[in-house]
Structure formats: structure tokens, C-alpha cells
């Protein structure tokens, strides 16, 4: 289940987006119960009001390519309506990580009610994709190897260390949020299971967004 979601209580709301909403909710719940959620505002309210005061709701389902634009639209809408626990008001909370040209265009268009043709989005994506991108630290062969190792159960941190990239970059590659044009169909099912958290114990879960 892919789309935007909200965690609500009487004092405010936290908006997020995920390609696996149920798994993401489980991550949020686990970290809130442990008292180490990365969002201090949400954690403080949870500790003070109690778990029963919070409700988890789906706001809108969408395709993966539209996820950040949909999340941004709901962030803007609920921010205008009342208090948000979100620290970052930019979908995906990049904190220094630049969104791709097509993603920025979709987020901007979402705010203005515009849409871009598939051809236009494809051209913007081509401008910043794969090995030809000056910021690329891995090759297409590396991408296939990263996905293979992840499918075999190797921790993201170990893979990231070998390639000199961040854990989150490995996650983006495995779940095809980046380098999605590189075909590796044999590992798709395993990658989807890892993103959903099926074989991964709670202690090894990636931090909830």
C-alpha cells in the first residue's frame, strides 16, 4: 500500500509517505513505544498523552512516482489547517539531499495544480540519471551487485561501507527509488520484502521518516 498517511492526536498531526504504509506504521509505533523516535515533537506528545490518544490514517494512495508530490500536498494542506508535528515541511525530509528534477517538478506542480506530460518528466529524469550524472558514485554494474547482496540478506550498512555511500543510498537503490532504470528483475520480490521489513528484526529497522 503506497501513499501518504497521517498520525493524529488532539494536539496535532504528523504527515508522512511510504511505499509500504503498514510497515512504516509499525516502525513509527516501535520507536515511539521505545521512546527513541527521531521526531521529538511527536515523541513528546506520545509520551505525555499515551498511545491510545493517537490514530493512524491513510490520506491518499498513489503510485511510487507520485509519492513525494502527494505527501507534499498533504503537508501543505494540513499545515494550513492546524498544528503539525513535522520538523521538516518538505516531503521526504531530504536534509541536504537534492530531489531529482522530475520530483521537484511534480512537487511544484502539485502546489500549483499543474501536471507535466510523461515526455517532459522523462526528459528531466534523463538529465540526472545513471552513470552520466556527475554526482553518481556507483555504476550500473555496482547497482546490480548491491541489489544482489541485499537480496541475499547482507545488511545495508555493510554494503554501504564497501561502496563508500550512505546506508540510505543503498536503501534507495534496492527499493528502486534511485537507479530504477537498471533492470534486475530476479531480485524484485526479495527487495520488496526487505523494504517491507519482513526479514529484518525491529532493532535493524531503518529510522522512520
Along the 209 residues of the chain, how does pLDDT read in single tens digits?
999 999 999 999 999 999 999 999 999 999 999 999 999 999 999 999 999 999 999 999 999 999 999 999 999 999 988 889 998 888 865 443 444 555 556 555 655 555 556 666 665 555 445 554 434 578 888 899 999 998 888 888 888 888 888 888 888 899 888 888 887 644 444 545 555 555 444 444 444 44
How many residues can be counted in the chain?
209
Quote the pTM value: 0.48
Which of these, 141, 140, 138, lies nearest to 163 by C-alpha position?
138
| Cα distance between residue 72 and residue 13, in whole Å | 14
| Four-point Cα dihedral 34, 170, 76, 96, nearest 10 | 100
8 Å CB contact between 2 and 19: yes
3-state secondary structure of 195: helix
Amino acid at each position: 500500500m503506497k501513499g501518504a498517511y497521517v498520525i493524529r492526536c488532539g494536539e496535532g498531526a504528523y504527515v508522512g509517505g511510504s511505499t509500504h504504509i503498514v510497515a512504516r506504521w509499525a516502525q513509527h509505533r516501535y520507536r515511539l513505544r521505545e521512546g527513541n523516535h527521531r521526531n521529538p515533537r511527536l515523541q513528546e506528545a506520545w509520551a505525555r498523552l499515551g498511545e491510545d490518544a493517537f490514530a493512524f490514517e491513510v490520506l491518499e494512495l498513489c503510485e511510487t512516482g507520485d509519492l513525494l508530490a502527494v505527501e507534499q500536498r498533504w503537508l501543505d494542506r494540513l499545515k494550513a489547517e492546524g498544528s503539525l508535528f513535522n520538523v521538516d515541511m518538505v516531503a521526504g525530509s531530504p536534509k541536504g539531499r537534492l530531489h531529482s528534477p522530475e520530483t521537484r517538478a511534480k512537487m511544484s506542480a502539485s502546489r500549483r495544480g499543474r501536471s507535466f506530460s510523461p515526455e517532459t518528466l522523462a526528459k528531466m529524469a534523463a538529465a540526472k540519471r545513471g552513470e552520466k550524472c556527475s554526482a553518481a558514485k556507483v555504476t550500473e554494474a555496482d547497482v546490480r551487485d548491491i541489489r544482489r547482496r541485499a537480496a541475499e540478506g547482507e545488511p545495508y550498512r555493510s554494503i554501504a561501507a564497501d561502496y563508500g555511500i550512505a546506508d540510505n543510498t543503498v536503501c534507495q537503490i534496492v527499493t528502486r527509488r534511485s537507479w530504477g532504470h537498471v533492470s534486475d528483475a530476479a531480485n524484485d520480490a526479495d527487495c520488496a520484502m526487505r523494504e517491507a521489513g519482513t526479514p529484518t528484526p525491529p532493532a535493524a529497522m531503518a529510522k522512520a521518516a
